[in-house]
Structures are given as C-alpha cells and as structure tokens.
Amino acid sequence: MPVIRISGAESQIMEALWRAGPLTPDGIVAEVGEANGWAPGTVKTLITRLLRKKAIEGRREDAGYVYRPLISRESYVQSESQGLVDRLFGGEVAPLVAHFAEHRALTPKDIELLKSLIAKLEGDDE
C-alpha cells in the first residue's frame, strides 16, 4: 500500500472519523471546525483533499452523505512513526528514545514502561 501523506490539519479530520465515523459533512464540521477555528468551507476543503488522496471515501446512505476512513489509524501511525525515525534518526529507534530522555523529563511511569518493553523484547529473542 502506498504511503499517504496527511497534513496536520487533515489529520484532525482523520482523527474525527476514526473516533466517531462514519460522519456526515456537518458531523465532521461539528467535530473539528470550532475546536480548530475553521469555517465549514475550510473543513470541506480538507475533506476534498483527503478524498483525492484516497484516505477517505464518501458514500450516500440512508443518513445522507457520509465519509469514512480508508486507512486505519494504526497503519497511519505506523507510517508516520517510521517516517519520523527514518528522517530524523537514520532509521534507528535508540537515538529517538535517547533524544526524548535528554530533552523531555521522563516520568517514573515512562521509565517503567520502557523497562517493561525492553524486558519483553529481550524475552522474544530467547
């Protein structure tokens, strides 16, 4: 599946559809318009962009015209995460974690989760 590039604004539409979809155009406006200070026309422009990118589809149903995502949130997050790691950290995860550890205070919960993940990964190698 080709990588679909979704802007920050477009991702707000996607999040609404993943969270509450399928949604009518007015439903999408209600979900993201006011919170972002966007007029209905702005939201509809973002919807059109996502349709062109084949990230969403629109279809007439009993409730009227509704939109639904064509990509899962999980695959979007995976693609975006991999792109970030590739672009900024040469494809290596350890420097990413080190960056966050150095520039953002990790909570005890963060550290415990990282330790747990490492223990799980080490256990998978055996």
Dump pLDDT digits (tens) for 39-68. Answer: 999 999 999 999 999 999 999 988 789 999
| Tens-digit pLDDT profile for residues 65-95 | 999 999 999 999 988 888 888 888 888 888 8
Bigger pLDDT: 91 vs 38 = 38
Bigger pLDDT: 105 vs 11 = 11
Under CATH, which number does the domain 1-91 receive? 1.10.10.10
Q: 125 pLDDT exceeds 70?
A: no
Q: What does the DSSP assignment read for 55-91?
A: SEEEEEETTEEEEEESS-HHHHHHHHHHHHHHHHHTT
Q: 2 pLDDT exceeds 80?
A: no
Contact 25, 32 (CB under 8 A): no
